[in-house]
Structures are given as C-alpha cells and as structure tokens.
A and B are shown apart, each in its own frame.
Chain A
Amino acid sequence: MEIVLVSLFNGLVYGMLLFMLASGLTLIFSMMGVLNFAHASIYMIGAYLAFTISQIVGFFPALIIAPLLCALIGAAIEVWGLRRVHHNGHIAELLFTFGLVFIIQRSVQMIWGMLPMAYRVPPSLDFPLFTIYGANFPAYRGFMLLISVGMLVATWLLLKKTRIGLVIQAALTHPQMASALGHNVPRVFTIVFAGGCLLAGLAGVIGGNYQTTEPGMAESMGPIVFVVVVFGGLGSLAGCFVASILMGLIQTFAVVINYSMLHLLKPLGISVTGDNLFTEILTVPVARIGALLPFAMMIIILLFRPRGLMGTRDT
C-alpha cells in the first residue's frame, strides 16, 4: 500500500514536470506544425542557467531569470533560424531543429564541462513535508507541484482571458484562418515559440535539481516528451495534461512492478525451462520493460489513432 501511495505522489510530480515540458511543445507543434526537436535541449539550458545564476544570486531569482533567458533564446531561434527555413518545406524545419540539438548539446558541454553539476535543492526547501508510512515526501516536490500547477493556471488564464490568448487559440487549430483574418501570425508564432521555450526553461529550473543536471539530460527527457505530445494529441492542451499525468504514473509505477509475462501465464500451467531467448522474453520483469512502454504506446497510438487522445487534428 505504501508503495502505491508513494508512487502515486512521485508519479504526479513527474507527470506535472512532463506537462510543463510537453505543453510548450504541444503549443509550438500544434500551431506551427514544427516538431521542435530541440525542446528538451532548452530544458537542459534552463537547468544549467539556473545552476549558474543560483550560484551568483540564489535560487529564487534564478527561478525568474533563467526561464526569461530561455524565452529570449527561443525568440532568437525562431526569428533568425526557423523563419528562414520555413519556405524550404516541412522536412527542412525538422532538420533544422534536429541540427540545433547537436549544437546546443555540445555548447553546453563546452561552457559547463562534461561532469554533472552540483545543482542542489535550495536549503530553504530541503525538508520533509510529510511522511507516509515512514517514507519522506520532500518539501521540494511539493514546491515543484506548486510551480507547475501555478504555471498551468497562468497559461490557462492567458489563453482564455486575454486577447492574445484568443488569437493563439484560434491559430492553434486553424492557423491559416487566423492569418486570413488579419492577425500578425508571424509575430504570434514568435511569441508562442518563445513562450514554449519559457515553459521548457522553467521546467529545467525546477527539474534540474530533482533529476541530475548533466549533459545527457536532454537525451533522456526528449523522447518521453515527444511521446506525451503525440499521445495527448495535436491542438489540445487538455489532452497533453492527461497524457503527461498518465505517462508520469506509468513510468513511476512500472519501476516497482516485478511481475513478468510468465506470471500471467503461470495460472494456465505454462512454465519454461532453459536459458534461451524465448525464456528471456517471458521472464523480463515489467520493471525493466518500463523504459519500453512509452515508445510502444506511442507507436500503437500513431498507428491506430494518429489524432492522439484528445487531439483536434491528425499528427
């Protein structure tokens, strides 16, 4: 029982982190049709920047400055890079963001080095919030939840209650129509791209000390975020939210399950002996398959329901 509750909390926290990352990507993807491969790289930049800034002025200013810097970087990428390749076609845009991944990856390694950074939870938040069945639930995780929910509410308010939000919503599902109605869609694109990068950067700030801040973090988070975006569906932030939480829970729970396919077959009287590939497949515990699950799910969803859970357009 403890495992379920603890995993539930952790899964929720991880899911909200995923949502912050995935929501920015969904906005960018839905509106501009470009899958920003470098999104997780911006997440990484956010974490590294937060580390450096918090060394100079402390964690809480970093919480504000780092995401803003990421937004600026995003705007620069959009205006000077993405916009130029737009007329070369869809694949060119994908290739461009793909190339960015290399550059950002190596630049981060160059500037900060190859070793993980000692980006720790700020002392003011480093205490157990409450204990369940003897396991501590750190206050920092509660803080993470707070920030992510706050961001979610702020984004929701921006989209639903402001004029620019209205335009963004329209362009989200019908970009050509919004443009035909006279809105400055290129400028909206820049704002959305920068906004998406701001969210990614913020995720990096709070995620960087939850996970380790090291040069490989973009590679480990990146694919999962894509899975979430695809799963949640284009044009729907609600779908993105559901998919993020689902993925967070699945990944957290999968790690603690030690059953394998063999356990399913046992009641049928099937057992295997011997040490070959076949037995290996049957006896792999779900915990190890956990890493496979998101990708298998993504493939299945793309095959049978490319629109995702709640999408309004096909991927």
Chain B
Amino acid sequence: MTASRFRQGSIWIVVLALAIAAPWAFYNYHAGRQSGFVVSMLTQMGMMSILALSYNMLLGQAGLFSLCHAVFFGIGGYATIHFLTMAGAGSLRLPMELIPLLSGLSGLGLAIVFGYMATKQRATAFAMITLGIGELMVTSALMFQHFFGGEGGVNTNRMIGRSLFGLTYAQGIQVYYLTLAWTLLAALAMFFLTMTPLGRMANASRDNFERVQFVGYDPRMVRFFQFALSGFFAGIGGGLYAITYEIVTFDALAAPLSANALLMAYIGGSASFGGPILGAVLITLLQSGVSLMSNSWLVYVGVLFISMVIFAPSGIMGLVMAHGPIVRAGQLGRLAVPYIRVLVPGLLMVLGFVGLVELTSFLTIGAAQGKSLVLFGNKIDIHATLPWLFATVFLLGGGLWLRLEAQSFRRVWECLMADLKPQRRLS
C-alpha cells in the first residue's frame, strides 16, 4: 500500500476509536450512565451508515439510481421483529449477535427477486421500476396485517435471553456496541467487495455499459449481483433498527427513507468509499440537532443537496480529497486567505437565507404553534420590516460578493493545480 492509502486508512481507525469512546465522553455521573440521547444518536448513525454504504454500492459504484432502497432495509426490520419474537418464544435458537445475519438474508432474498426485474432495464427505466417497487411495498405493508401489522406496524421484545457474551441488551449502550460491531463488519465487507472481480466490473459497467459486454461480461448480471448484495447489507441495517427500537412500521420501507439514503450517500460523497459514512453522520446530526432548532431543516438539506448537485457532484469527501495534492505538497497555507475571502460573503449569504426562511416559517407555522423567533435571547418581531430587510440584504449582497470572490478563488486554485501538475497521480 502506498503512503497516502495508509494515511487514509489510519483516519478510519481514528474514527473507529472515537466511535467506541464517544458514549463515555457524555457520561452522566449523576445518573450513573451515559447520556441516553447521545447513545441513541450514535446508534442511529451506525444504522444509517450501513444504509448509506449499501446504497452507494448502487449509486456511486454501479451507476444505478434506485428509488426503493429502503424496501430492503425495511424488510430486514420486519423480518427481524418476527425473528426476535420467535427467538423469545424459544422456536429460534440463535444468539442475539447473529440475528442481524438473518436480517441480511431477508434483505438478500427480496433483493434477488426485485433486482432480477429492475436490472432488466437501464437508467431512467430502472429508476421508474424501483419507484414502482417502492410504492408497491408501502401499499402492501399497509394492506397485509399478518406480516406487516398494517398502520401500527409490528413490535417485539429484544430480551430474548440468548447471547454469545451473556448480555441481556436491556441497556441502550449494549445495543450501541452491537450496532457498532455490525457496522464495522458490514463496512469492511463492502470495502472488500470493491476489490473483487464483481466490484470492479460494477465500476466498469457504471463507466461504460457496452465495453463491459465486449470484455465478456453480461452487464445485466453484474448489476443484478451488485443489487442483490446491496440488499443484503441494507437488510442488516434494518435488523439493527428492529433490535434497537423493537418496533417497525411502514416508514422503514417508505420513500422518505430511500430519499434519505440518497442524500446521505450523495452529500457525503458517492465517488469515495467512506463518503456515505460521512454523509450518514452529518445528516443524522442535522436531523437530531438542527431539527430541534428549526422547523425548516428539510429546506436547508434540500438546498444543500441541490447546490452540491450543481457545484460539487463528488460530495464533501470529494471536496476534501481534491485538496489532497495541495496538502501533500505542503501548499495548503496558500489557500488560507482565499478561503477566508470566500467564507465571509458565503456566511453572510447563508445567514440571509436562513433568516428569510425562518422569518417566513414563523409567520405561518410558528404562529400556529404559538412560538416566536428568538435570536441570541432577543425576541424578533417577525411583522416588522427591519428583520426582513436585513435578511434580504444579507442574502443578495452576500450572493453578489460571493460571486466575485469565487472567481478569484478559482484562479488561485487553478494556479496551484497547474504548478502541481507533474506530481498529480490517481491515488
């Protein structure tokens, strides 16, 4: 392995160490346990990482735009609820630690059926078939009571009394470490997959469908296998979801969750392996954090998403990695001032935008809920013109200023890149 790959690998070891240690940083000595909120959020991050990684097996690695990925997560969840109930009743003699494997197999089974159909077509037709599958599954989940429990979903008790390590999983922290272990396993497996014949041919079929045929592979089969395997991993995620929350409803297979998977994989960066993990962590943080502060976080995510589609299609990870050559040449310092010059108007523009969105939202929704806009402890009168004026000026002024600065930033960047050209390689 080259030096840079080793460095990249060690970053993930640090992330893992952080993940293991994190709950203890939020230890509440008074109550004698870790912060429930933090543990819950970390567990969510783990599940979502698996979901996002498995989605990226399709989007980033195979060039498949699927709109029904949550279906496999959901079926893993539903099946696991039933497995747990069976285990608790004694008819399934499996320790808790191995249950997610069964969840994965459930996801795999369904993905084989649906994948065989969907991969028959390409691009937009493929997306439409997956759209149909997604809608079909949600409607079925609401219709068939026995397996899906209708609108109320199905629930269970995760204390099945069977464990390889003698754990009861009564406490959230134990569930977290189980989730973390499976997230690690799944991530390693998916990473390994990228370096196998199937993984490489999936990349190839993303780049050039026809060429794949003329090196002897049936691109349809390549995509089918990739789809099936991604369903396997999504199922594992769903199983962990079931174990954590002990209840699964149709939300676990519906379109919003599929959209979430897309957002996480794309914003994090679909061109690199670890990007989706970054996306999952970020979106979960935003979801838990920002949604507490503001009603309109979905608008922000949507705008962020669209901006990335236009300006940064390789996601946050892609942006970070683009700095690679510059960091390696020790030239990062030269970007300090240009960045500041871009960040200031950028921040202004964001403030203006957020201001307008919040003002508008409080005018209608907030009023209905009886809340009022509070900034740094000062109550802002949303009916006065001044806040609106400020926000608009910030937005427009910041935007125009940003355009100017962005041009000079681009010049500095291109200059740097041109200087480094002889040393640039694919890392």
A residues adjacent to B (C-beta < 8 A): 33, 35, 81, 84-85, 88, 90-92, 94-96, 98-103, 105-107, 109-115, 219, 223, 226-227, 230, 275-277, 280-281, 284, 288-289, 291-292, 295-296, 298-299, 302-303, 306, 314-315
Contacts and interface: CB of A to CB of B under 8 A. Distances in A.
A292 B141 CA distance: 11
A113 B133 contact: no
B296 A277 contact: no
B147 interface: yes
A113 B313 contact: no
Interface string B119-137: 0110111011101110110
Contacts of B65: 91, 94-95
A109 B365 contact: yes
Contacts of B139: 291-292, 295
A64 to B, nearest CB: 26
A112 B124 CA distance: 33
A92 B143 contact: no
Interface-central residue, A101, A102, A230, A275, by most chain B CB under 10 Å: A102
A85 B309 contact: yes
A226 B299 contact: no
Q: Name A's interface SS.
A: helix
B306 interface: yes
B144 A280 contact: yes
A292 B306 CA distance: 31
Interface stretch (B190-198, B271-279, B356-364): B356-364
Given A110-B357, A114-B365, A302-B132, A284 B125 contact: no
B321 to A, nearest CB: 18
B382 interface: no
Contacts of A295: 131-133, 135-136, 139
Q: Name B's interface SS.
A: helix
B135 A223 contact: yes
B63 interface: yes
Contact of B309 (A88, A109, A113, A303): A88
A247 B139 CA distance: 17
B305 interface: yes
B3 interface: no
Nearest to B361: A110
26 contacts: A35-B128, A81-B306, A88-B310, A90-B123, A91-B65, A92-B309, A102-B259, A106-B296, A109-B365, A110-B364, A112-B364, A113-B364, A114-B365, A115-B368, A275-B146, A289-B143, A292-B136, A295-B132, A295-B133, A299-B129, A299-B132, A299-B133, A302-B129, A303-B120, A306-B121, A314-B125
A61 to B, nearest CB: 24
Given A90-B124, A109-B365, 15 more contacts: A91-B65, A94-B65, A94-B127, A95-B65, A103-B306, A110-B365, A113-B365, A291-B139, A292-B139, A298-B132, A299-B129, A302-B129, A302-B132, A303-B120, A315-B125
